[in-house]
Amino acid sequence: MSKFEWKPKIRNYKTEEIDINNNDASGTVKLGNVQTADHPLSNKKKNNAVKVVMTSNSNTSSDPLSGSDPLRGGSSSPYVDPLSARMDHQPSLIITGQLNRQIGSRQKAGYLNWAYKKQKYLKKYTTDKNIPIISNIMEEEEGKVIKLEDRLKMRLDELDREEKEQDTQYMAQKDYLRHLEKLNEELKDAWNVQNDRVKSLKIVIKCSKILGRNTVPQFYPSMFVLVSEVLDTFGKLIYKRIAEKNSKTDPITGKVISKLPKNFTVHDVTEDAKEVCRNWHYKVASIRELLGRVYLEMTILSSYKFLYEGDQRLKKDLVRLAKEIRGIGDPLIANYARCYLARKGFELLPDEKDYLMILFDDFVYTQQQFEEEHFQKFLNKTGINRGQYMDLLAPPLDWILEVLGKDAGEPLFHKVLDRYQKEGKSSAIFLNSIISSFEAHLVSQAASILIYEIKQCDDSLPKHQLFKSLGEQFCVCPPEDSHKLELLNEIWKFVTAMKDIKDYISVVEVFIEFVCKSFTLKEVNILMKDLLNHLKSSGLTTFETVEEEIQNILLTVLENTGDFIKVFNLQQFLPLFDMLSTTRKVQVSKGMLKAFAKRKSATAADPVVISSLFDLAITVHDSVNALSEEFEKEEVCEALVGFVNGIDFGMALEKQLNFFTDCRRSFSMFDRINEALVIKTLNMIAKTYKFVKAQHTSKTSSFVKACVSFCHITIPSLSNLFKRTKLFVLSGQYAVMNNLLPQANALFKIAIETITNIPRIETLPDNTVVDNTEELVSMICWISSCFVSVPGHPEQGPFYLMRGLLNLIQEYNWGTGSDAKIRLFIYTLSTLSALSQQTLPYRYTGVSSNDELFMEDDDYKEQLIAIGNTIIEKAVEEILALGTDEDFSSKKKQALCAAELLNSIVFLSSLNNKLLDLIGKLYTLAKGDDKAFKIFAHVKNAVNTLANAERTQVIGYSSKDPIMKKQFKQDKQQFAIVCQVFGQ
């Protein structure tokens, strides 16, 4: 006789389902454990923050060179400059904010992105020559006493000391870069640590003078980038210094209690801050040398916000500075100064165009100097030709035109184009910048004019580069449909005549996208044929020099055409593909597999395509090995999975299974592919099941057996034990669904055996320690629920699999203090309750479940009750064992498990005195001595629900069913007893 004499209660699942769906409080819903972060009746903390109103400080100094003098140390607060890192870091916040405002659909790399451009310039513009540098740039006079009345004069004299008094040294490019970085660090150190404003200003002026030396023009763009970093740092330091003058600090704690709001106006600025700002402008205005004064004025333009309301003064000074730059004689130096003004103006007034038009006009005007004799002498002296010199002008011109072209309308575009036509001297550099900088729709509208100008321009930039720029704009916004073909033919008359295969293929690489998007595959094939003819007539024995372009062309065709099969069948596609080396073929093969995966599945009518794709897939798979990078393996795996998922033979299911078998044999490296093959095979089983409507013929039954066998063989190759277990269980369910019971039993058995090999604590390859307990619990609960509708074993008995699962739960090492075993025992009790019912809650169509096979067998009921009693006994033993530890965590787990077991017994059992005695003991454990548990509330709610059910008689049992009617009467009596146990 069992200790508790557990017997399952008769259930009416249909009524319970109705009650749940209607949110009925009939007692059929199991109460869960819900934890809340805060008690609803607890006191809430109030936010007693005091709003601080900032007031203006009207105290001003009578001496303009006293405390507010910008050249004195007045602020000891540390300042971490955002440019303290190297110049390859992110741009300033102002620039970043503007970059987010994209122009239409333009995605051109580096468009209005100075951080991107400066990295490009630093890599491109280098030199192996020595660069001159003033050696005593930081020389200072020490120990000299300066009288107060002579202070200003001495400072100005120091700042404007003649360069001829200083020695010159020569540095290699690497040393020069380190020198400029050192200057940037010395500037911040002088400002933040030494509080020496004079030294800081001297450093900046000397840096600006560096930009006046054009002895090595090849390096000038890189030198400009590095020096402008120092200037930007100085401007930020001044801005922060002025802003700090508006901050108020607590005299005791030193903490800032008020500061300027984010979107402040001039009315929010204190007089002290304004005075500091004016003094900085006076100091900069006192610099005698034009280049240094202009650069420093541009550096501190952001401080105008402290002095002037609105943008009118800033707009006037932008125009003034644009005109002042005309006084710089060297065109290279002047145009880079214009670039810096365009940068600073764009940060502050991104939509202002007037000063930019002046900069562009003056840029064009400087070309007149290139015709003079002294310019040719300069080129001879520096050892560069005219084309190389014009290339040095491309960075400032590109930036000025990009800022000018941002949100530009048609009138401004035509104004710039007209200016170029009249005074641009047919410069290819200028024309290329115009094409690249303005929005694509404006360029496309003027395509015929631009094509004419490209043909007429000089050779300062190769023609193929201009056609590439035009093609890039066509890809973004193509011309009108009525002119597309005419314009393409006009361009191709010139392009196809190019002698150099590299120049020709670089244009094809761009225009192939335009052709794919704007024309049919017929035109794509024509263009590819022209490319093939050029490659054959180029005289190249191998195509290594143009392989990258061929690869990009093929990938572009794949990405921009809708029908993969038609592309694959293009006459010129495979001949171009065969020109690639093995490595390049792998990359294109990946693209082909990805393109195939995006379209609808291929059918059995495409045997040639499927065979070719399979060969490509094998090539891609064999391109990686155990030593390959993880991202490369992931990319290959993704392509192969897409290929496997993309092949569908329709109702030719045997061919499909043969294909999966070939894939398993050929793609053995990746678990994901085998996993996909198993899932696809299970889908094929479901497809067959639906087709025969659960009535198998001998042929379909044999096919389904073959599919199950395929899964049985494939799943063990997976390294992940959890995935392996899930797929075994899933395959077992599909086997039961198709009445393949021996195969199902074998699969479920292997699933249980696989779980025994899963470690509870696992160390991953990256040394991360993972606790698998919860996933194991979830997995076993799922398997237990599957066994409800699985017929028992004809020889081993109806509970063969269930006993195996219970043995697993009992024998698995769950660790000390774990409640996993208890929770699983409680869950399996629910499974036994379902198995005891006259009608199971769910079943497989056409499969005889245990309710049909064994329900009338007394031995079946006795075994079920015996297993249920054993589960309760084991659960109680484990709950009591939890209480042997005195720590709070174990006590809490004991209380929670006691409440859960009590909950299950009340709802799943036909109650008797022994069970009621157990319920009382479990209630005592659940309530506990520590009020922090609050567990008894859940139990009390459960009892209230039962009592309500007894009073209102809404359990929902059918009065027409005599068995249900009898059980209902018993339940009413037992509910009353339960209520007495808890004092209800």
Predicted confidence at residue 105, as pLDDT, reads 37
Per-residue pLDDT, averaged over 676-692, amounts to 95
Query: Residue 369: which pLDDT band, with cuts at 50, 70 and 90?
Result: confident
Predicted confidence at residue 596, as pLDDT, reads 86
| Mean pLDDT lowest among 5-19, 70-84, 400-414, 574-588 | 70-84
Can you tell me the distance from the alpha carbon of 707 to that of 654, in angstroms, rounded to the nearest whole number?
Answer: 9
Can you tell me the distance from the alpha carbon of 108 to that of 475, in angstroms, rounded to the nearest whole number?
Answer: 11
Quickly count: other Cβ atoms within 10 Å of residue 371's Cβ: 9
Predicted confidence at residue 161, as pLDDT, reads 54
What pLDDT, in 10s, does the model give residues 850-887? 888 887 788 988 999 999 999 999 999 999 988 777 77
Whether 919 shows a pLDDT value over 60: the answer reads yes
Whether 67 shows a pLDDT value over 60: the answer reads no
What pLDDT, in 10s, does the model give residues 815-826? 988 999 999 999
Whether 956 shows a pLDDT value over 80: the answer reads no
Whether 70 shows a pLDDT value over 70: the answer reads no
Can you tell me the distance from the alpha carbon of 14 to that of 953, in angstroms, rounded to the nearest whole number?
Answer: 17
Q: How many residues does the chain have?
A: 984
Predicted confidence at residue 178, as pLDDT, reads 85
Whether 984 shows a pLDDT value over 50: the answer reads no
Whether 755 shows a pLDDT value over 70: the answer reads yes
Q: How far is CA 813 from CA 403, 445, 778, 818, 824, in A?
A: 68, 75, 16, 10, 13
How confident is the prediction for the chain on average, in pLDDT? 81
Whether 656 shows a pLDDT value over 90: the answer reads yes
What pLDDT, in 10s, does the model give residues 531-577? 999 999 988 888 889 999 999 999 999 988 877 788 888 899 999 99
| Mean pLDDT lowest among 11-20, 914-923, 926-935 | 926-935
* C-alpha torsion 746→750→752→758, nearest 10: -170
Per-residue pLDDT, averaged over 659-682, amounts to 95
Query: Residue 973: which pLDDT band, with cuts at 50, 70 and 90?
Result: low
Whether 718 shows a pLDDT value over 80: the answer reads yes
Which pair of structure tokens corresponds to residue 784?
């237990």
What pLDDT, in 10s, does the model give residues 28-42? 444 344 444 444 334
Query: Residue 111: which pLDDT band, with cuts at 50, 70 and 90?
Result: confident
Predicted confidence at residue 99, as pLDDT, reads 28
b/e per residue 135-171 (b: at least 16 CB within 10 A): eebeeeeeeeeeeeeeeeeebeeebeeeeeeeeeeee
Quickly count: other Cβ atoms within 10 Å of residue 283's Cβ: 21
Predicted confidence at residue 726, as pLDDT, reads 97
Per-residue pLDDT, averaged over 646-671, amounts to 92
| Mean pLDDT lowest among 68-82, 355-369, 625-639, 934-948 | 68-82
CA angle 244, 247, 248 (to 5 degrees): 140
Burial of 562 (0-12, 13-18, 19+ CB in 10 A): exposed
Whether 928 shows a pLDDT value over 60: the answer reads yes
b/e per residue 719-730 (b: at least 16 CB within 10 A): eebbbbbbbbbb
Please tell me which of 165-179, 333-347, 640-654, 852-866 the model is most confident about, judged by mean pLDDT: 333-347
Query: Residue 138: which pLDDT band, with cuts at 50, 70 and 90?
Result: very low
Which pair of structure tokens corresponds to residue 226?
């590095």
b/e per residue 301-321 (b: at least 16 CB within 10 A): bbbbbbbeeeeeebbebbbeb
| Mean pLDDT lowest among 109-113, 179-183, 789-793 | 109-113
Per-residue pLDDT, averaged over 236-241, amounts to 90
Predicted confidence at residue 136, as pLDDT, reads 52
What is the percentage of the chain residues whose pLDDT exceeds 90?
48
Per-residue pLDDT, averaged over 652-669, amounts to 94
Predicted confidence at residue 970, as pLDDT, reads 52
What pLDDT, in 10s, does the model give residues 468-500? 999 999 999 999 999 999 999 999 999 999 999
Whether 715 shows a pLDDT value over 90: the answer reads yes
SS3 (DSSP) at 171 = strand
Can you tell me the distance from the alpha carbon of 793 to that of 746, in angstroms, rounded to the nearest whole number?
Answer: 11
More reliable by pLDDT, 977 or 454: 454
What pLDDT, in 10s, does the model give residues 140-158? 433 344 454 555 565 556 5
SS3 (DSSP) at 520 = coil
SS3 (DSSP) at 792 = coil
Which pair of structure tokens corresponds to residue 35?
């934890």
Whether 334 shows a pLDDT value over 90: the answer reads yes
More reliable by pLDDT, 344 or 425: 344
What pLDDT, in 10s, does the model give residues 376-420? 888 888 888 888 999 999 999 999 999 999 999 999 999 999 999
Query: Residue 63: which pLDDT band, with cuts at 50, 70 and 90?
Result: very low
Can you tell me the distance from the alpha carbon of 647 to that of 656, in angstroms, rounded to the nearest whole number?
Answer: 8
**Cβ neighbours of residue 394 under 8 Å, at least 6 residues apart?**
429, 432, 433
| Mean pLDDT lowest among 22-26, 201-205, 325-329 | 22-26
What pLDDT, in 10s, does the model give residues 176-231? 888 888 888 889 888 888 888 888 898 899 888 889 988 889 999 999 999 999 99
More reliable by pLDDT, 66 or 215: 215
How would you classify residue 650: left for phi > 0, otherwise alpha for psi between -120 and 50, otherwise beta? left
More reliable by pLDDT, 358 or 854: 358
More reliable by pLDDT, 752 or 112: 752
Predicted confidence at residue 31, as pLDDT, reads 39
Can you tell me the distance from the alpha carbon of 392 to that of 330, in angstroms, rounded to the nearest whole number?
Answer: 13
Quickly count: other Cβ atoms within 10 Å of residue 945's Cβ: 20
Can you tell me the distance from the alpha carbon of 968 to that of 746, in angstroms, rounded to the nearest whole number?
Answer: 41
Query: Residue 103: which pLDDT band, with cuts at 50, 70 and 90?
Result: very low
**Cβ neighbours of residue 553 under 8 Å, at least 6 residues apart?**
505, 508, 509, 512, 528, 531, 576
Phi, psi of 682 (to 5 degrees): -65, -40
More reliable by pLDDT, 968 or 213: 213
Q: What is the pTM of this model?
A: 0.69
Predicted confidence at residue 107, as pLDDT, reads 45
